[in-house]
């Protein structure tokens, strides 16, 4: 699932599968959590929120049980950063 970056000190990115109604949240520490039965509207509100972390804590963390599904390594995060901001290529 593709995740889009969030402007938050605690949340790095979020992704959503509308067909399965599953949202993934990638935290700043690299942990990736999955939340099921999330509506498309709730995901849209998270992505549009001026404070994604507060929105997450108020509307998602307390209402949905999440499951940790993995961890993004620093290497992957660095590659994602370079892809977003045109870092050096090793070609």
Task: Encode pLDDT of 21-67 as tens digits.
Answer: 999 999 999 999 999 999 999 999 999 999 999 999 999 998 999 99
pLDDT-derived band at 1, boundaries 50, 70, 90: confident
- Domain range for 37: 4-72
20 assigned to some structural domain: yes
Residue among 45, 25, 44 nearest 35 (CA): 25
pLDDT for the residue numbered 62: 87
For residues 70 and 28, the answer to whether their CB atoms sit within 8 Å is no
62 assigned to some structural domain: yes
Instruction: Return the pLDDT at 90.
Output: 47
- What's the structural domain count of the chain? 1
Domain assignment present for residue 47? The answer is yes
Q: Give pTM, 2 decimals.
A: 0.77
């Amino acid at each position: 699932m593709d995740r889009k970056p969030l402007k938050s000190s605690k949340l790095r990115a979020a992704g959503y599968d509308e067909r399965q109604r599953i949202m993934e949240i990638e935290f700043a520490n690299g942990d990736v959590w999955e939340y099921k039965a999330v509506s498309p509207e709730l995901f849209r509100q998270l992505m549009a929120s001026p404070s994604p972390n507060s929105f997450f804590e108020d509307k998602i963390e307390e209402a949905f049980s999440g499951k940790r599904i993995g961890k993004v390594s620093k290497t992957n995060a660095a590659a994602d950063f370079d892809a977003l901001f045109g870092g050096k290529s090793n070609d």
